Amino acid sequence: MELAKYSFGVGDRFAHQATAQLRACRMAADRGVEIIPVWNKSYREHTTIGSAPPSVRAAADAAVREEGWTLPYHVDADHIRLETVDGFLATSDFYTIDVADAIGKPAGPGEVAAFVERHPELTGRLSIPGVDAPFDMLRSDLERIAGKYARATAEAGTIYRHIKAAKGEGNFITEVSMDETDTPQTPGELLVILAALADQGVPVQTIAPKFTGRFNKGVDYVGDIAQFEKEFGEDIAVLAYAVKQFGLPANLKLSVHSGSDKFSIYAPIQRALARSSAGLHVKTAGTTWLEEIIGLAESGGEGLTLAKDIYAQAYNDRDALCAPYASVIDIDPSRLATPATVAGWSADKFAAAVRHIPGAPEFNPDMRQLLHVGYKIAARMGDRFLHMLDVCAPAISRNVTENLYERHLKPLFLTQE
Ligand SMILES: [Zn+2]
């Protein structure tokens, strides 16, 4: 099973928006660009919502039937580990093997020395086509990097073999993720990681490094855009080199996690893709849940009341909601509207505060981030929330499709006219 050149991960927390999401891919396909949808949901999201992995497959299959989608589509067991993968074995065909926690853990005895012996090509001056300056990799650098990632790449091998034993070789797509960690991986580190994954026999088709800069939930990129563009281009070059050098799958490509709403790096990404003709996977999740909130609000009446109620509860519970996400949100509490203020807002005012139009006078990124991590509130509401998703479906699905197509797929993948 091969992942196509362009693929786009969508998250559908409450399993109501798969058709609206797929419609965005159809709109791109109608304009001649095939972007393969991948429905992703992590163990953590399932736990918060109270759902089980087969529900993602069921929602994806139903959307594909409804839309008459004939291109491939996938269901991603997102950020799985050995202890959480089993529930996903029956219904996923895409596995994001998360080994970030093993980065920096000590390697086994002799492992690093054996790696360095196996890879004499990695020491010295490395000229990689597409990377401006050659890398100078000292033996001591290589030992340090190999040591830092030995456990993580070995763990990827263990998890990959566990999945392979259940599903059979070649019957699923393998992604390896290292994004949920503190420090970004340099292009040189990425090269060593790919060599180690190849040694482990992991046929990685897409890899999610941690990139430079902040990827806060549901809002724009924060960081040095020129530096990001340089590193992103170098990462692409390293992947192409690793495919040839280590015999990794020819379709190996980068995966950008927390990729929704990072509008200021989309043009740099598109330029890098155009220069290299590389593929790309972009993973999004919570941006669709925020469109559900916007659609509820736009619907007015009970929908608006529910949206305000969710916000009020999230506001009151903000410390607990935000704590697990400290490294991926930046909320200034003084910029949050109080529930009492929000109670007086019109549907349009509420929607404009949450909808991600950078520079729009009413857009409130602090409020948007709080709602992003507030899906637990909706999960707790249960049927009251789910029922209103049905009642307000027209406005919600319109917003879901428009957000993915206009603000994500178009600037990332479609040639700008
Ligand atoms: Zn991730």
Using the mean position of ligand 1's atoms as its centre, give its distance from the Cα of residue 207 in Å: 10
pLDDT tens per residue across span 78-105: 999 999 999 999 999 999 999 999 999 9
Using the mean position of ligand 1's atoms as its centre, give its distance from the Cα of residue 49 in Å: 18
For residue 262 the two structure tokens come to 């990072």
Same domain, 51 and 76: yes
Using the mean position of ligand 1's atoms as its centre, give its distance from the Cα of residue 178 in Å: 7
For residue 82 the two structure tokens come to 């050995």
Same domain, 52 and 176: yes
Q: Which CATH number goes with the domain that contains 173?
A: 3.20.20.70
Total tally of structural domains belonging to the chain: 2
Using the mean position of ligand 1's atoms as its centre, give its distance from the Cα of residue 96 in Å: 9
Q: Which of 151, 235, 258, 153 is nearest to 195 (CA)?
A: 153
Out of 267, 286, 305, a domain closes at 286
Using the mean position of ligand 1's atoms as its centre, give its distance from the Cα of residue 100 in Å: 10
Using the mean position of ligand 1's atoms as its centre, give its distance from the Cα of residue 111 in Å: 27
Same domain, 91 and 217: yes
Same domain, 229 and 291: no
- Which residues in 20-137 belong to E strands, given as ranges? 36-42, 74-80, 94-98, 124-126, 135-137
Same domain, 278 and 361: no
pLDDT tens per residue across span 159-189: 999 999 999 999 999 999 999 888 999 999 9
Same domain, 152 and 164: yes
Using the mean position of ligand 1's atoms as its centre, give its distance from the Cα of residue 285 in Å: 10
Using the mean position of ligand 1's atoms as its centre, give its distance from the Cα of residue 258 in Å: 6
Using the mean position of ligand 1's atoms as its centre, give its distance from the Cα of residue 9 in Å: 11
Q: Which of 54, 36, 408, 67 is nearest to 218 (CA)?
A: 408
Same domain, 340 and 398: yes
Determine the pLDDT at residue 391: 98
Determine the pLDDT at residue 135: 85
Single-letter amino acid, residue 139: R
Using the mean position of ligand 1's atoms as its centre, give its distance from the Cα of residue 360 in Å: 28
Same domain, 268 and 297: no
The CA distance from 33 to 20, in Å, is 18
Using the mean position of ligand 1's atoms as its centre, give its distance from the Cα of residue 343 in Å: 35
Is 119 part of a structural domain of the chain?
yes
The CA distance from 328 to 288, in Å, is 17
Is 39 part of a structural domain of the chain?
yes
Whether residue 14 is predicted with pLDDT greater than 60 in this model: the reply is: yes
Determine the pLDDT at residue 84: 98
* Residue-wise DSSP of 279-321: -EEEE--HHHHHHHHHHHHHT-HHHHHHHHHHHHHHHHTHHHH
CA angle 373, 379, 384 (to 5 degrees): 130
Determine the pLDDT at residue 76: 98
The CA distance from 281 to 273, in Å, is 11
Same domain, 153 and 74: yes
Count of residues making up the chain: 417
Using the mean position of ligand 1's atoms as its centre, give its distance from the Cα of residue 91 in Å: 20
Q: Which of 397, 172, 210 is nearest to 296 (CA)?
A: 397
Is 412 part of a structural domain of the chain?
no
pLDDT tens per residue across span 358-409: 999 999 999 999 999 999 999 999 999 999 999 999 999 999 999 999 999 9
Using the mean position of ligand 1's atoms as its centre, give its distance from the Cα of residue 176 in Å: 10
**In a 10 Å sphere around its CB, with 0-12 CB exposed, 13-18 middle and 19+ buried, how is residue 282 labelled?**
buried
pLDDT tens per residue across span 215-229: 999 999 999 999 999
Percent of the chain clearing pLDDT 70 (strictly above) = 100
Strands 280-283 and 6-10: parallel
Determine the pLDDT at residue 133: 86
The CA distance from 331 to 370, in Å, is 7
Out of 241, 256, 286, a domain closes at 286
Using the mean position of ligand 1's atoms as its centre, give its distance from the Cα of residue 392 in Å: 30
Same domain, 176 and 234: yes
Is 183 part of a structural domain of the chain?
yes
Using the mean position of ligand 1's atoms as its centre, give its distance from the Cα of residue 275 in Å: 26
Same domain, 331 and 359: yes
Is 113 part of a structural domain of the chain?
yes
Is 140 part of a structural domain of the chain?
yes
Same domain, 315 and 273: no
Whether residue 417 is predicted with pLDDT greater than 80 in this model: the reply is: no
Using the mean position of ligand 1's atoms as its centre, give its distance from the Cα of residue 180 in Å: 6
Using the mean position of ligand 1's atoms as its centre, give its distance from the Cα of residue 301 in Å: 36
- Which residues in 188-236 belong to E strands, given as ranges? 206-208
Q: What is the mean pLDDT of the chain?
A: 96
Strands 124-126 and 135-137: antiparallel
**SS3 at position 151:** helix
Is 400 part of a structural domain of the chain?
yes
330: containing domain = 287-405
Contact assessment for residue 294 and residue 399, using Cβ atoms and an 8 Å cutoff = yes
Using the mean position of ligand 1's atoms as its centre, give its distance from the Cα of residue 290 in Å: 18
Out of 286, 305, 322, a domain closes at 286
Is 373 part of a structural domain of the chain?
yes
Using the mean position of ligand 1's atoms as its centre, give its distance from the Cα of residue 39 in Å: 14
The CA distance from 208 to 255, in Å, is 5
The CA distance from 365 to 39, in Å, is 26
Determine the pLDDT at residue 416: 65
The CA distance from 88 to 175, in Å, is 14
